[in-house]
C-alpha cells in the first residue's frame, strides 16, 4: 500500500469514528430531551397537588438539640431554562422549589448557642440553606472579654428545592435536593432512559416523607 493510500485509510477511519460519535451524541441528546419533556410536566402537575395537600415537613433542628415546631411544605413552584447545544435548543435545567413554614401560625423566633467549631460549622451551613433569616451574636466573658460562644437568633422559615441538570452527551440527569428530608443537600443521578412515571413517583414520595428509592 502506498503512503498516500495509508493516509487515505487513516482519514476514512477517523471520519467513520467521528460519524459514530456524532450519531451517539445526537441519540443521547434526543433521549435526554425526551426525559426532560416527561419530567417537567410531571413536576408541574405534582406542584399543583402538593399546593393543596401542604405535606408535613421532616423534623428540623439547626444544632441537633433545639427542635423547630412542626413544619409543612407550601407554595410549590416549577421553573425551567433552555440553552443552545450544538446549534439546537435544549434544557439547561428544570427545578421545583417550595417554602417550609410552621404547620400552625406564623414563623416564630428561636435561639441556638454553639461553642465548638464543628457545631458552629453545621449550624452556619444550615442557616445558609434557604437561607434562614438570622442574627449572629458573640457571647463574651464580662470581665476577660474572651469569646465564650456564638448565639444565633433565627426565624423558623426556610426553603427547599430539587434541581435537575441534564447531561445530554451522556444521557443522564443529575438531581440535587436541598432541605427535602430535613436540613441538608443530597445529590443523585438517573439515566435519561429511566425517567418514567415509576421513577418520578419515587421522587414524589421523597418529598412527602414516604419511603423512597429515588436517592
The 10s digit of each residue's pLDDT in 31-61 is: 999 999 999 999 999 999 999 999 999 999 9
Whether residue 20 is predicted with pLDDT greater than 90 in this model: the reply is no
Per-residue pLDDT tens for 206-215? 999 999 999 9
Q: Can you tell me the distance from the alpha carbon of 87 to that of 73, in angstroms, rounded to the nearest whole number?
A: 39
Q: What is the DSSP string of 77-130?
A: EEEEEEEEETTEEEEEEEEEEEEEEESSSS--EEEEEE-SHHHHHHHHHHHHTT
pLDDT of residue 163: 99
- Which cell goes with 196? 418514567
Q: Can you tell me the distance from the alpha carbon of 90 to that of 78, in angstroms, rounded to the nearest whole number?
A: 17
Q: Which residues are CB-contacts of 215 (< 8 A; sequence separation ≥ 6)?
A: 175, 177, 186, 188, 206
Whether residue 1 is predicted with pLDDT greater than 90 in this model: the reply is no
Q: Mean of the pLDDT values across residues 126-153?
A: 94
pLDDT of residue 12: 76
Confidence of residue 22 (pLDDT cuts 50, 70, 90): confident
Counting residues of the chain whose pLDDT is more than 70, the rounded percentage is: 99
Which residues is 160 bridged to in the sheet? 98
pLDDT of residue 19: 62
From residue 195, alpha-carbon distances to 91, 96, 173 in Å are 15, 16, 9
Whether residue 15 is predicted with pLDDT greater than 90 in this model: the reply is no
Amino acid at each position: 500500500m502506498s503512503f498516500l493510500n495509508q493516509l487515505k485509510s487513516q482519514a476514512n477511519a477517523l471520519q467513520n469514528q467521528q460519524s459514530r460519535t456524532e450519531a451517539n451524541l445526537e441519540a443521547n441528546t434526543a433521549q435526554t430531551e425526551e426525559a426532560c419533556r416527561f419530567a417537567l410536566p410531571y413536576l408541574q402537575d405534582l406542584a399543583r397537588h402538593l399546593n393543596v395537600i401542604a405535606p408535613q415537613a421532616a423534623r428540623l433542628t439547626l444544632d441537633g438539640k433545639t427542635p423547630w415546631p412542626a413544619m409543612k411544605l407550601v407554595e410549590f413552584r416549577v421553573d425551567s431554562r433552555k440553552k443552545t447545544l450544538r446549534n439546537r435548543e435544549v434544557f439547561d435545567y428544570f427545578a421545583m422549589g417550595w417554602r417550609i413554614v410552621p404547620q400552625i401560625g406564623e414563623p416564630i423566633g428561636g435561639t441556638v448557642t454553639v461553642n465548638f467549631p464543628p457545631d458552629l460549622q453545621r449550624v452556619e451551613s444550615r442557616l445558609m440553606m434557604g437561607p434562614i433569616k438570622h442574627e449572629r451574636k458573640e457571647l463574651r466573658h464580662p470581665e476577660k472579654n474572651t469569646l465564650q460562644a456564638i448565639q444565633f437568633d433565627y426565624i423558623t422559615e426556610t426553603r427547599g428545592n430539587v434541581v435537575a441538570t441534564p447531561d445530554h452527551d451522556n444521557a443522564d440527569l443529575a438531581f440535587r435536593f436541598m432541605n427535602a428530608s430535613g436540613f441538608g443537600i443530597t445529590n443523585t443521578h438517573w439515566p435519561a432512559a429511566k425517567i418514567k412515571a415509576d421513577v418520578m413517583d419515587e421522587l414524589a414520595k421523597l418529598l412527602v416523607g414516604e419511603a423512597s428509592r429515588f436517592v
